[in-house]
Chain A
Amino acid sequence: MTVIEAQRLGKRYRNIWALRDCGLSVPAGHVVALVGPNGAGKTTLLRLLAGLAAPSAGRLRVLGGCQPGSAAAREGVSYLDQQMPLYRNLRVRDLLRVAEAMNPRWHGELAEARLAALGIPVRRKAGRLSGGQQAQLALTLAIARRPRLLLLDEPLASLDPLARQDAMAALMTSVAEDGLSVVLSSHVVPELERVASYLIVLSGGRVQVAATVESLLDTHRALIGPARDAARLAEQVPVVTVSRAGRQAQALARTAAAPSGWVGRPVTMEELVLGYLREPTACALPGPAVTR
């Protein structure tokens, strides 16, 4: 199942295009890292996927053909906004009851068990919890709906490292056990290599990269070679970025083998992401799907 499908997707606010001409085809079961500079359109894309906003152009479908915001989509998609909306004047216990009333598919025992394990008091008002506890609560409310697609807009930023690790562990377990798909918008690039299996890089409202991490790492190399050859490199292989330091040049290229005169090594996720972010005009859009 294609959990996210976009064709020429665009979103305009007044005269500004927050997203333009985006194409995506993400298979189910992946943890998708959504990376990009501030204002690149990550939040816009997530809100479109959640059904909070409607596209200005193009077509967007989730969960194999459901329109975002429709009843079927809302049932299978959970969204956690950057600003972490919660009914802060309600007690945690009442929050759970309200969530149960508003959702046909609600696993209350899962929510209660998770909150108990995290030590979040159910009799306290949600607004009185610490920032980290609120984030955990919001995440619990999203997960207890047992969605098939979970959209997270940097909600783990307010968690301390240990809590973040725990939250990630819970998410990864859910991915393993239930085949949950996750879209995670994150600035923390180093952690992406551990958790992400699909990468989307947004830059200036356009999709720069959209592919599985495996295929990206297979098809890119970090090259080292003499600076005098740097200019010719672009003719030999598709180059993402190239930089010179003295007599040596380093490059990130989309190639399976280093051209002659250059030494190649596998590239890390961090290098890949930073390379593309530095060069907004480069792109790596999906080729033939990697079948498993």
Chain B
Amino acid sequence: MPTYLQLVHQVDYALRLGFLAAGDRLPRIKDVTRSLAVNPDTVMKAYRELEVRGIAAGRPGLGTFIVAAPDVAGLGEMTALQRKLVSWLAEAAAAGVDELGMKALFAAALRDFHHGGSAGGHLPGREVGDRADGAA
């Protein structure tokens, strides 16, 4: 996974786990560069991606701040979704599909979904694991 995405996910997980909250300031690019030995461009790209996703916003001269937690569905919705997923897995197992096959099926379905598949609602044309378009 590209480094900048790793950074984005780190911020994402920190938010989900409660270590970061709205209003917190993200570390300065210089400090991240020094502590992780990554190219400052990479850090910049990560922060831009966070801005695109609406998680963070930059304030000139002050830094980059968390503005909102990532969209998280309610706890009840999550439980219902997981129950549906388990029943699908049971169906697949009964049809003789092994674990790898299940993963491949899921990946293919996700791909189709991204490309505007039949289930309606799609994200703009991307491929599997595609990054956000990074042009400034």
Contact = CB atoms under 8 A, between A and B. Distances in A.
* A touches B (Cβ under 8 A): yes
Contacts, number: 67
B110 interface: no
Interface in A244-292: 257-258, 263-266, 268, 290, 292
Interface string B117-136: 00000000001111100111
A266 B131 CA distance: 8
A235 interface: no
Contacts of A217: 2, 131
Given A194-B39, A194-B42, A214-B134, A176 B33 contact: yes
A177 interface: yes
B16 interface: no
A168 B37 contact: yes
B127 A265 contact: yes
B39 A264 contact: no
A195 B37 contact: yes
B34 A169 contact: yes
B103 to A, nearest CB: 15
B29 interface: yes
A173 B29 CA distance: 9
A193 interface: yes
Contacts of A196: 39
Interface of B: 2-3, 29-30, 33-42, 45, 111, 127-131, 134-136
